[in-house]
């Protein structure tokens, strides 16, 4: 139990589907929600008052009765290479990643590369780095674990667009728990919230837990304006759609407009199961 800023906090560890199965690809065992459902259930049934999520793990559809009480200041949203810089990876080498989004973008940038899966906690992933030319992980995860020194290259969003809400935390509580919501308001970081809301709006329009490689990254200016970039790709990286929108209105609506545009210029075809299946087969064999 810990007392911080006048609030007593007791940690409660909840094992999720994603924690129990550290071998299967994420999309095979339920997609983005595999690290959050059991934690959300603990809040809904009163065993816990708040849930702290890696915001990139949250599907855009929220369980009835829960609300995002706060998005604290966002960490580094970039993807990181451990083992080699992108330009230094030898031709035909193997890169390990458990993310179809990362794999597709790397395949687009470097069609010569081959890929292997990567699951487990961060220690497990880093221990496997020597088996491959490089592994890809989230910069924020290494930062928070005090392992930033392991980063060989952090990839700029212009090179690799991050996962929706990557680098951010989302603190969830019950809708009707007004005292807790008042406390959480004290750690809300409005620019981070606006950026993440734009990215969640993008994901929601694609379907909430899209299995295709999809990423988005929003930046908030000194004024209320938001610029959001979105990516939608085939699993094998042979097709990649990328565009952006900017405005000072509702950030969620901005993200939705961007997603609708990408769906209209070819993304809807990639969302079709008949298109996903052969691409998934090619991706899983790499």
pLDDT in tens, 184-208: 999 999 999 999 999 999 999 998 5
pLDDT in the model for residue 260 = 96
Quote the CATH superfamily of domain 79-161: Periplasmic binding protein-like II (3.40.190.10)
d(CA 149, CA 130): 16
Q: Tokens in use for 216?
A: 């988005």
Longest dimension (CA), the chain: 57
Give the pairing type, strands 240-247 and 226-233: antiparallel
- Helix, strand or coil, per DSSP, at residue 244: strand
Query: What is the CA 250 to chain-centroid distance, rounded?
Result: 21
The per-residue b/e assignment along 101-117, b for 16 or more CB within 10 angstroms, e otherwise, is bbbbbbbbebeebebee
57 given a catalytic annotation: yes
* Sign of torsion over alpha carbons 205, 210, 216, 222: positive
> Which residue in the list 49, 57, 177, 236 is annotated as catalytic?
57
**Cα 253-263-220 angle, rounded to 5 deg:** 35
- pLDDT value, residue 16: 59
Note the pLDDT of residue 286: 28
**Residues ≥6 apart with Cβ < 8 Å to 86:** 106, 109, 110, 134, 153, 155, 159
| DSSP symbol at 160 | S
What contacts 9, CB < 8 A, 6 or more positions away? 1, 2, 3
SS3 119: coil
CA dist 4 and 8 (Å) reads 6
Name the residue ranges covered by the structural domains of the chain. Answer: 2-75+164-277, 79-161
Q: What is the pLDDT of residue 209?
A: 56
Contact 1, 9 (CB under 8 A): yes
252 in Cβ contact with 164 (< 8 Å): no
CATH 3.30.160.40 for domain 2-75+164-277: yes
Q: Are strands 169-174 and 66-70 parallel, antiparallel or unpaired?
A: antiparallel
Q: Give me the helix-helix angle, 100-109 and 273-284, nearest 10°.
A: 80
Predicted confidence at residue 38, as pLDDT, reads 85
Cα separation of 101 and 60, whole Å?
17
pLDDT tens, N- to C-terminus, the chain (286 residues): 455 556 778 887 776 565 555 555 544 444 455 568 888 888 999 989 999 999 998 887 778 999 999 999 999 999 999 999 999 999 999 999 989 999 999 999 999 999 999 878 899 999 988 999 999 999 999 999 999 999 999 999 999 999 999 999 999 999 999 999 999 999 999 999 999 999 999 999 998 555 678 999 999 988 779 999 999 998 889 999 999 999 999 999 999 999 999 999 988 887 775 444 444 444 332 2
């Amino acid at each position: 139990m810990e007392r911080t800023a006048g609030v007593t906090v007791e940690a409660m560890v909840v094992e999720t589907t994603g924690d129990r199965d550290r071998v299967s690809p994420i999309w095979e065992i339920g997609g983005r929600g595999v690290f959050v459902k059991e934690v959300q259930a603990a809040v809904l049934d009163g065993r816990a008052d708040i849930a702290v999520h890696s915001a990139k793990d949250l599907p855009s559809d929220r369980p009835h009765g829960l609300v995002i009480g706060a998005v604290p200041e966002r960490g580094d949203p970039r993807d990181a290479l451990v083992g080699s810089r992108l330009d230094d990876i030898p031709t035909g080498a193997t890169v390990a990643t458990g993310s179809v989004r990362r794999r597709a973008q790397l395949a687009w940038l470097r069609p010569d590369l081959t890929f292997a899966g990567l699951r487990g906690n961060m220690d497990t992933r880093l221990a496997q780095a020597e088996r491959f030319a490089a592994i890809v992980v989230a910069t924020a995860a290494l930062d928070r674990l005090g392992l930033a020194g392991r980063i060989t290259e952090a990839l700029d969003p212009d090179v690799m667009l991050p996962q929706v809400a990557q680098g951010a935390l989302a603190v969830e509580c019950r809708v009707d728990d007004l005292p807790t919501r008042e406390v959480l308001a004290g750690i809300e970081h409005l620019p981070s919230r606006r950026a993440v809301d734009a990215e969640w709006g993008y994901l929601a329009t694609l379907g909430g837990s899209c299995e295709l490689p999809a990423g988005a990254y929003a930046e908030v200016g000194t004024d209320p304006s938001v610029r959001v970039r979105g990516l939608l790709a085939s699993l094998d990286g042979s097709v990649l759609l990328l565009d952006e929108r900017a405005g000072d209105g509702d950030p969620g609506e901005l993200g939705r407009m961007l997603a609708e545009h990408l769906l209209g210029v070819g993304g809807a075809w990639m969302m079709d199961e008949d298109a996903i299946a052969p691409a998934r087969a090619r991706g899983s064999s790499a």
